[in-house]
A and B are shown apart, each in its own frame.
Chain A
Amino acid sequence: MISAAWFDQIISLLAAILLLISFAMLSQRRILSLIELFAWQGAVLSASTAIVAYSANLHHLYYSAAITFALKVVALPWLLHRLIRRLNVRWDVETMINIPSTMLIGLALVVFAFNLAQPISQLATGAARHTIGIATATVLLSFLMMITRRKAVPQVIGFLAMENGLFFAATSATHGMPMVVELGIALDVLVGTFIFGIFFFQIRETFDSLDIRHMEKLKER
């Protein structure tokens, strides 16, 4: 018989891996590796959801784990790969702030996230005590990634990673949102990625590049 404490240990371990992946994404310079890391993040997320489903005996979380796997490990990375191939760009990730400084800011964000999550963690039971802080940190780190990247594709991956962090918060703190809501969120994410894809083509067609720096015309005068 596997005890509940053992499951908590596993969930905590997965949470730690999630945080490590977030940092790896923050420091990653190659876009293809970034997509790979994003897929790994999805896999960890899916695994943790499945474990929560097993330990709490909640059937709807199995579906949720399956959807996460299909969407975030298979569909989205595949879509992104395809986009990159069709756009024929395999550039390095360009950052606004150099990567060591970004990592330091990231560290500060993690401390901040744990403080922010303190009042919620106190109310939580089991593994959720540790994981809420980590989920918040993942969200903030993805946010940091979004605002420090110059090109459109890494920004979008940051956006999707942020959604992963939120999803992790939902499963670890509350055993998952109701099924309708989760389906709705998954649909929104999928449609959103398609629209991002359409955008990439429109942007490149118009600016001959996917560099966001070209898009600084609309400023207050």
Chain B
Amino acid sequence: MVEMLWLLGIPLAGGILQALAGQHRYAAELGVGLSFGTLLAAAALTVRVIADGPMLVFGEQFFIDPFNVFLVALTAFVAFTTAVFSRPYMRIEEHHGRLSTGRLRLYYSMYQLFTFTMLIGLTTNNMGILWVAMEAATLTTVLLVSLYRTPESLEAAWKYFILCGVGIAQALFGTILLYFAAERTLGTGGNALLWTHLDQSKVLLEPTVLSLAFVFLLIGYGTKVGLAPLHNWLPDAHAEGPTPVSAVLSGLLLNVALYAVVRCKVLTDGALGNHFAGNLMMGFGLLSVVVGTFSLSRQIDIKRMFAYSSIEHMGIITFAFGMGGPVASFAALLHMTMHSLTKSAIFFAVGHAAQKSGTQIMENIRGLIRTNPTVGWGLALGTFAILGMPPFGVFTSEFLILTTAMHEHSWSTPILLISLGIAFAAIFGKIQPIVFGETTLPRLPHPPAILPVFVHLAMVLVLGVYIPPALAEWYRQAARFIG
């Protein structure tokens, strides 16, 4: 109860504070402090839920179970490390004259509010509020994508706004249909959209309406997950926004959107009693994997390339959730964690590399290992990790997903394997000269904020070798809730 209050109160108050406090020198430090407070609250909440099991807070308006508390913890953690990373990064951007102090104020304020919307979306028990939070998450990030005010960034932000707006409108229609179905069994009023109530009476929900609702919800939230063919906004928004924003968009927002899809899937499965929702998710997931990987080799912009890699990985996770069952759901949750940690670490390293070379075009970034060994190694190790090399954790989760796919849907294994192979060739081929190539550039004049990169990668490495039994049990519990 108290934890929830802090968890949601800190980022909300922080966002308002950062907006009102104006352009002061310690805005970045304040941001780090606020994110740290949120992280502490999330940790306390996690401990509570793990010990006491699922709980309902504030008159059933919020619902915390192992599934969403795991994402709350992950979100708060990555939001904190990104705040740590963005402190020196944004300062250098300001120094280079790419950002004014006024825009930095907007950035720090919106960053906190963005965290707030994600946490609301994750913890709310109300499917309608979930929709409101998802839309609010778009609204808070859209001005961050256009922070540099270049023609490209404006175009990216416009595209992001319109496409996600249209997508999320479909999700609203899905939510209305869900409410329409729920009203007949749960009666009118606020309770009919509460997920816990829906979950209890899901077998009674009208199947035809629910299947139609799920299609709309999947398309709507799927747009935000970046599922192909609704992914067009994602590479642009990731490439043109400031790097910390790319890191949180890729590492966190996509997860939250997928979380919404999974919550809806649980209800649909219960009502329909067949594999309809799972099949749809598997189809969209596989298509995203294929589209993501085949776009990788054509990219010349480094952030754009890793954005396509995010589409590929979200595809894999969606596919795994679509398969369902304890092992696949476990693997999907693990992969969600691994992808968040690794991809944000990569974006941190890429941010420094791009800042140093003054470009995001891969051909012009060379020889990082000479000019800046720590950034170079960070990028190299991050790339290894995201490509699923053992002993990193991505390997474990991808291996679990592949073996489950082999057992249950063997036709999909070749598609997945070929895609992973192509992704490997494409990304490795492009990153290798960036890290190890020849360069004439001098060393980086300022020390990079590289600690978050290695903290993330170390966690991915440790989890790849050894998953603590407590954590495994936690994932298993969460997987059981998903079914």
Contact = CB atoms under 8 A, between A and B. Distances in A.
B428 interface: no
Interface-centre pick from A162, A178, A217 (highest chain B CB count, 10 A): A178
A184 B128 CA distance: 8
A214 B128 CA distance: 37
Nearest to A122: B208
Contact of B132 (A120, A166, A187, A195): A187
Contact of A188 (B132, B189, B300): B132
B298 A220 contact: yes
Interface stretch (B139-147, B222-230, B342-350): B139-147
Interface in A162-189: 162-163, 166, 169-170, 173-175, 177-181, 184-185, 187-188
Interface string A115-138: 010011001100000000000100
Interface stretch (B173-181, B269-277, B377-385, B437-445): B173-181
A116 B135 CA distance: 25
A192 to B, nearest CB: 6
Interface string B171-211: 01101110110011000111011000000000000101100
B65 interface: no
B158 A215 contact: yes
Interface stretch (B8-16, B148-156, B411-419, B454-462): B148-156
A195 B166 contact: no
A91 interface: no
B190 A179 contact: yes
A188 B151 contact: no
Interface string B35-76: 000000000000000000000000000000000000000000
Contacts of B172: 163, 166, 185
Contacts of B156: 218
A54 interface: no
Interface stretch (A19-27, A28-36, A72-80, A202-210): A202-210
Chain A's interface: helix, strand, loop or mixed, by majority? Answer: helix
B340 interface: no
A188 B166 contact: no
A213 to B, nearest CB: 11
B190 A178 contact: yes
B391 interface: no
A195 B142 contact: yes
B126 A202 contact: no
Interface string B116-132: 00000000001011011
A6 B173 CA distance: 28
Nearest to A173: B180
Contacts of B175: 177
Contacts of A181: 126, 128-129, 131-132, 193
B151 A206 contact: yes
Interface-centre pick from A163, A188, A192, A195 (highest chain B CB count, 10 A): A188
Contacts of A159: 162, 165-166, 169
Interface of B: 126, 128-129, 131-132, 135-136, 139, 142-143, 146, 149-152, 154-159, 161-162, 165-166, 169, 172-173, 175-177, 179-180, 183-184, 188-190, 192-193, 206, 208-209, 212, 236, 239-240, 295, 298, 300
8 contacts: A123-B209, A174-B183, A180-B126, A181-B128, A181-B193, A187-B132, A196-B161, A203-B158
Q: Which 6 pairs of residues, A with B, have the shortest CB-CB distance?
A: A181-B128, A184-B132, A215-B155, A178-B190, A119-B208, A188-B135
Interface of A: 58, 116, 119-120, 123-124, 136, 139, 143, 146, 152, 155, 159, 162-163, 166, 169-170, 173-175, 177-181, 184-185, 187-188, 191-192, 195-196, 198-199, 202-203, 205-207, 212, 214-218, 220-221
